[in-house]
Amino acid sequence: MNITLKEIAELTSGELEGDAAKTITGAAGLADAVETDVSFLGNPKYGAQAAASKAGCLLLPKSAKGIAGVSANRIYVEDAQWAFAQVLDIIEKELLKPVPPAIDQRTQIHHEARLSPNLTIGPFTVIDRRAIIGEGTVIGPQCFIGFNSRIGKNCRIYPQVTIRENVVLGDRCVVHSGTVIGADGFGFSTDRKTGAHRKIPQIGKVVIEDDVEIGSNVSIDRATVGVTKIGAGTKIDNLVQIAHNVHVGRNCLIVSQVGIAGSTKVGDQVILGGQVGVVGHVNIGDGAILTAQTGVMSDIEPKSVMFGSPARPHREAMKLQALINKLPEIYEAVKSFRGKQKPEPEGDHAKTA
Amino acid sequence: MNITLKEIAELTSGELEGDAAKTITGAAGLADAVETDVSFLGNPKYGAQAAASKAGCLLLPKSAKGIAGVSANRIYVEDAQWAFAQVLDIIEKELLKPVPPAIDQRTQIHHEARLSPNLTIGPFTVIDRRAIIGEGTVIGPQCFIGFNSRIGKNCRIYPQVTIRENVVLGDRCVVHSGTVIGADGFGFSTDRKTGAHRKIPQIGKVVIEDDVEIGSNVSIDRATVGVTKIGAGTKIDNLVQIAHNVHVGRNCLIVSQVGIAGSTKVGDQVILGGQVGVVGHVNIGDGAILTAQTGVMSDIEPKSVMFGSPARPHREAMKLQALINKLPEIYEAVKSFRGKQKPEPEGDHAKTA
Amino acid sequence: MNITLKEIAELTSGELEGDAAKTITGAAGLADAVETDVSFLGNPKYGAQAAASKAGCLLLPKSAKGIAGVSANRIYVEDAQWAFAQVLDIIEKELLKPVPPAIDQRTQIHHEARLSPNLTIGPFTVIDRRAIIGEGTVIGPQCFIGFNSRIGKNCRIYPQVTIRENVVLGDRCVVHSGTVIGADGFGFSTDRKTGAHRKIPQIGKVVIEDDVEIGSNVSIDRATVGVTKIGAGTKIDNLVQIAHNVHVGRNCLIVSQVGIAGSTKVGDQVILGGQVGVVGHVNIGDGAILTAQTGVMSDIEPKSVMFGSPARPHREAMKLQALINKLPEIYEAVKSFRGKQKPEPEGDHAKTA
């Protein structure tokens, strides 16, 4: 990359302050940036780091106008993080020069599969019978796309992804390596006499809507009957478990190692923090935020912020944690109270009565 | 599927009430079912949903006989969920027409491997030296079966499974994609002088008994010496960790994201809820139930039901959670008590004494 | 294996007591060992098991000299576990006879990749453009090594590992099956107007230093910009999540199912127990120990031992857990206190005043 501040300001629709002709060749975080890098201040709490940064130019929110002590070369933008992302986009395109679409010779593509134009399919990938792959999609090496599954347009499937039968992916979806979509849900019927767990066939589907990104080593199970669904624009981090018949809404953020049990419904714009666990058959309302490690055992109201296992409203949970810290003090007081009581035991009263 | 109520009643050994000649073409949950679907009421708490269901026929437990307000077409059975599973089984067989057994040309099968008749082995799969595969087993594409491992009869190994050396699988086992069986246990000996962690060779085995099902992206490590063992009939959900030398009993249910640390022994018919963690070198008694997110640091009695981290008996844990909710009230009372005390401090008593 | 006690003593620099000519053919844990096995006592708390063991020879710490009731054939060593590991090493070499280095015909190796001598590369593995593989390294079947990545000398990459572009592995690293190194970090910029999460390109690297071992189904994400780093000698168990821009120090032990969120810095010789979760942008000091399931939301002091979610110093957390057990007693006392108060309500005082 070789870009002037003037060009960055244009790219990000920003307002430039400083040396418009200065050339930037890289991008970095505040702490790592050098004179030829652009960096950004996304959160005012990192103001001290911004002041200490050696970045040749800073992308700043408009609210930071006139901020003292940081680089003289500044570009004020609506959203500094997003402006930075736009610069990264340029660097990425240079780093990873796109290769022309091509289907490797060493794939196994069933003759009843339907391939659109402009596909890239890597070596040792298997496309099963009646699978349909949309235009412009890139499927990495060593992937498996099962019977009757349909991948939309301009998707990106990284190496070693398994997509089983009857799975639907929308357009512009990204699936990272090691992820398994459409494995059987965990459904067994226990024979009360023998204790044996008999398999309930899992014959439902998985539907992933447009613009969903799914991290690495994620497991999304097919429905028993009906559908397991991930709404458009939802982003799922690594090592997440989505059980059979779960419905996740639109634009959710599901952080790493979250587990959602069967048939639970998650609303739109929900944020599930790392390692959150949600039991089956409950509803998480739109806009709810469950902070990391929260354990949910019942319905969650829209827009609520929850913490803890079992989950409580965040403020309440924090207050209870503070009170738990006071338990030694509380217990001492209780002992002291009981000590006070002892000189006047019930028996004494009886005597005096 | 095209099946009459009379035929479903015969299939499920049920007692039919209603229109025996009515034809059913699908199966669905209570909420999604339409007039041509069969559905089921597995749990009386979904009675309202059953009443609202548009299903053309309901499978009901015998205990629900005479239930009002639900479909007039009813089949009373011993176990409604299992009856429903039997219908799903028919649909599944139609959906996924079995392909005749065949070994793909693009596998790598060592000439010292021993293959039984009637095998299916998918493309790009590797079967290493001295591996043995039992009759009727289906191994998907892109799998790895290591040196000296033995897979039983009629197993189903989905794509992209790694089974390392010296692993034994019984008959009728199912292993879902992304799962790794027999990777090295996490064993290191720390040099006290340098702090370096030196690898302890992990030369033990893994033995998986008959009828075990293992979800996707599961990790089951080989023993240091001896064996890591999963008992017959046990079912393991996705993203579960089974460490070296763990012994799991028969007919357990291990829900998603559970972690069991090294050398722990889990009894028979144990249920470990989602995200449960169990430390190493402890015993979980037969029939114990650990609810979701429970953290176990010591032995668990047979048939006990535990919750929380650290684990406590479920009733006790629930009671403590209720008391934690009362902490604000408790703390107010303690402050009030101390306020009361202040007018009569110890010193005053001393004076009056 | 066929080795005399004299030879084991020499191998482990131990002091032999007993029958020097006795032959040992295997190794086992205390409970499983038979007359022809060597076993070891690593921890004095297993003294009773050592006494009951049928092992033909015991490796014992020097501190156990003169211990009564255990096998008469003893070898006293500096570190009994490590001595045992040295015996296992011999057995392992016999079990898994090394095959001469060879590159399978059915790999896809880009002509711009740089391969050193003495490599083993398994079938169906893909080595992408400009990847560099160091001498003596073994890469299993069905692996993917991405553009411009560099694998050091004498590494061992097990089957079905994905290493994306611009990843660096040092020498003698071990990576187990199903692991994904270098997938995109979980970085999105949310459009405040639409709620859409827009992808922030993840163009950073991953650097894994020498002697790191990484378990199965682990996810280590690439940095947004800069580097995600794992320090030399650190050992990572299965199903662990390392987010973008995390820096882990040297000689850490990261147990199964741990999750470390973005940009967090973990010091040297840190131990993270199973299922520990650490939020982003915090520092874990050198030598800190976080016990299993701990949830960390802020910086952790060096050498501290923490437990619980939220994390508290271990002693304090244990004390608070004991006090939580006393909540029924505390609540009863509080009720009794309030009961006592009632006969003398404020109003009564007012009257008497």
B277-335 pLDDT tens trace: 999 999 999 999 999 999 999 999 999 999 999 999 999 999 999 999 999 999 999 88
Q: Identify the CATH class of C108-314.
A: mainly beta
Q: Residue C71: its pLDDT value, please?
A: 87
CB C84 within 8 A of CB C40: yes
Q: What would the pLDDT profile of C195-225 be if each residue is shown by its tens digit?
A: 999 999 999 999 999 999 999 999 999 999 9
Q: Residue B254: its pLDDT value, please?
A: 98
Q: Residue A95: its pLDDT value, please?
A: 85
Q: What would the pLDDT profile of A256-266 be if each residue is shown by its tens digit?
A: 999 999 999 99
Judged by CB atoms closer than 8 Å, whether chains meet at B309 and C293 is answered as yes
Tell me the pLDDT of chain A averaged across its residues: 94
| B:105-134 residues touching chain A, CB 8 A cutoff | 106, 122-124
Measured CA to CA in angstroms, residue C269 lies from A288, B133, C216, C307 at distances of 38, 44, 22, 18
For residue A334, give the chain B residue with the closest CA.
Answer: B334
Q: A353 pLDDT exceeds 60?
A: no
Residue B98's pLDDT band (boundaries 50, 70, 90)? Answer: confident
Percentage of residues of chain B with pLDDT beyond 90: 87
Of the residues C142, C181, C186, C202, the best mutation for testing chain A's interface (the one with the most A CB atoms within 10 Å of its CB) is C186
Q: A295 pLDDT exceeds 90?
A: yes
CATH 3.40.50.1980 fits C3-95, yes or no: no
Q: Residue C319: its pLDDT value, please?
A: 96
For residue C255, give the chain B residue with the closest CA.
Answer: B186
To the query of whether residue A314 is one of the catalytic residues in this protein, the response is no
Q: Residue B297: its pLDDT value, please?
A: 95
Average pLDDT over residues B60-89: 93
Q: Residue B342: its pLDDT value, please?
A: 58
* The Cα angle at residue C126 between residues C158 and A105, in degrees rounded to 5: 140
Beta bridge partners of C150: C132, C168
Kind and range of the H or E run holding B88: helix B80-95
Q: C350 pLDDT exceeds 50?
A: no
CB B258 within 8 A of CB A259: no
Q: Is C240 within 8 Å of chain B by CB? A: no
Q: B344 pLDDT exceeds 90?
A: no
Q: Residue C51: its pLDDT value, please?
A: 93
Residue C68's pLDDT band (boundaries 50, 70, 90)? Answer: confident
CB B234 within 8 A of CB B212: yes
Q: C135 pLDDT exceeds 50?
A: yes
Q: Residue B95: its pLDDT value, please?
A: 85
Q: Cis (ω within 30 of 0) for the bond into A310? A: yes
Percentage of residues of chain B with pLDDT beyond 70: 96
Q: Residue C32: its pLDDT value, please?
A: 93
Q: A37 pLDDT exceeds 90?
A: yes
- In sequence order, the 6+-apart residues with CB closer than 8 A to the CB of B45 are none
Q: What would the pLDDT profile of A185-220 be if each residue is shown by its tens digit?
A: 999 999 999 999 999 999 999 999 999 999 999 999
Residue ranges covered by each domain of chain B: 3-95, 108-314
Give the Cα separation of A147 and B159 in Å (integer): 13
Average pLDDT over residues C289-316: 97
Show the beta-strand stretches assigned E in A72-203: 74-77, 108-109, 114-115, 120-121, 126-127, 132-133, 138-139, 144-145, 150-151, 156-157, 162-163, 167-169, 174-175, 180-183, 188-190, 197-199
Of the residues C144, C247, C276, C296, the best mutation for testing chain A's interface (the one with the most A CB atoms within 10 Å of its CB) is C144
Judged by CB atoms closer than 8 Å, whether chains meet at B186 and C237 is answered as yes
Average pLDDT over residues A332-346: 72
The candidate with the shortest Cα–Cα distance to B232, out of B251, B246, B215, B213, is B251
Its pTM stands at 0.95
Tell me the pLDDT of chain C averaged across its residues: 94
Q: Residue C98: its pLDDT value, please?
A: 78
Measured CA to CA in angstroms, residue A261 lies from B47, B211, C97 at distances of 22, 23, 45
Q: C345 pLDDT exceeds 50?
A: no
Residue B99's pLDDT band (boundaries 50, 70, 90)? Answer: confident
The candidate with the shortest Cα–Cα distance to A187, out of B213, B195, C256, B25, is B213
Of the candidates A106, A140, A293, the beta carbon closest to that of C309 is on A293
